Amino acid sequence: MKILVTGGAGYVGSHAVLALRARGADVVVLDNLRQGHAAAVPAGVRLIEGDIGDAALLDPLLGEGFDAVLHFAALSLVGESMQKPMLYLRANAAAGMVLIEACLRHQVGRFVLSSTANLFAGGDAPLDEAAAIDPGSPYGESKWMLERALTWAGRTRGLKSVALRYFNAAGADPDGRLGEDHDPETHLIPLAIDAALGRRPELAIFGTDYPTPDGTCIRDYVHVSDLAEAHVRALERLAAAPEGAALAYNLGTGHGHSVRAVLAAVGRVAGRAVPAQEAPRRAGDPAILVASAARFMAETGWAPRFGDLDTIVATAHAWRVAHPGGYGG
């Protein structure tokens, strides 16, 4: 199988490249390297530096003949998207549609979209695929627009697609080959680890008055290597799906952890408490976001291998300790 991975030099995309290579796939990465890292692309994988919205680049590339496209490349910060809505809609939705159109021109049979829990407003119970769509930000909206575009590409042109709506991607390759390196870093687990290691100032706990048992937000942290494996399963699922199928699944562990519970886990793993202070809520954060992945598990046999929070944190911690400067260091 020949597979194009957009955003394959980024956090989740690079872990998916490893999973595909382990299955013997011929992988090509397309990444503009604005957030991705060339060092995250394994030796022997072709890396093309460019944009998903560049039809002149996509035509000769997809003309080589690809069985599938895994589409990760995106701007992905919810908060930033509230500040720059049109940038997010253009960079993710409009450019993503250029990519989908190119896939149609070049008869790519299968498309897997990296989608998001930000499609949902949140709720007390684990969210399944019947939960109401109510994007919380222009970021979530941009992914929803791509899901809708894929539905129409399926209905009118037969493209088979899966949208994987993942909750909080976390952790690092258990073999230490890859990890999380964002600039700026905004995610809870790497910030908490760096605070425990004394590399950053105290962590700000965004909101302690949420309607949750300890007052802090609850999220479903799912290991990045489990997400990578989910993409392989999604491709297999599509192979058996009828022409034009546009599938969507929620992906998580089904277990939520509060911000304070994450800080406690980081403290246990690092052997040092995370210095933290209480701070106001961050705009756009729902109180509780937990996924029900029951449908995906039933239809693909997928199950999280690294579902335990301490295991997730331990893999992230090991990578941060080994790579203090991320890929650049």
Nearer to ligand UDP, 137 or 225 (CB): 137
Give the per-residue contact string, 207-226, with ligand UDP (x = CB under 6 A; - = no). ----------x-x-------
* Gap between the Cα atoms of 127 and 124, Å rounded: 8
> Which region among 87-95, 137-145, 181-189, 315-323 touches ligand UDP (by CB under 6 A)?
181-189
Q: Of residues 139, 210, 221, 249, which has the active-site annotation?
A: 139
Nearest to 217 by CA among 204, 205, 235, 200: 205
Two tokens at 151?
Answer: 């539905």
CA distances from 269 to 100, 123, 262, 264, 307 (A): 42, 30, 11, 9, 16
Total site size for ligand UDP, rule CB under 6 A = 15
Query: Is 168 one of the binding residues for ligand UDP (CB under 6 A)?
Result: yes
Query: Is 164 one of the binding residues for ligand UDP (CB under 6 A)?
Result: no
* Gap between the Cα atoms of 39 and 22, Å rounded: 18
Single residue of 34, 46, 282, 305 touching ligand UDP by CB under 6 A: 282
Query: Is 206 one of the binding residues for ligand UDP (CB under 6 A)?
Result: yes
Nearer to ligand UDP, 66 or 221 (CB): 221
Coarse DSSP helix, strand, coil percentages of the chain, rounded to the nearest 5 percent: 40, 20, 40
Query: Is 172 one of the binding residues for ligand UDP (CB under 6 A)?
Result: no
Query: Is residue 11 annotated as part of the catalytic site, yes or no?
Result: no
> Which region among 183-191, 239-247, 267-275, 301-309 touches ligand UDP (by CB under 6 A)?
183-191
Single residue of 186, 236, 255, 327 touching ligand UDP by CB under 6 A: 186
Query: Is 327 one of the binding residues for ligand UDP (CB under 6 A)?
Result: no
- End-to-end distance of the chain based on CA atoms, in angstroms? 34
- The DSSP string of 104-144 is HHTT--EEEEEEEGGGB---SSPB-TTSPB--SSHHHHHHH
Task: Decide if 58 contacts 95 (C-beta within 8 A).
Answer: no
Which residues are near ligand UDP by CB under 6 A? 78, 168, 186-188, 191, 203-206, 217, 219, 259, 282, 285
What positions carry a catalytic annotation? 139
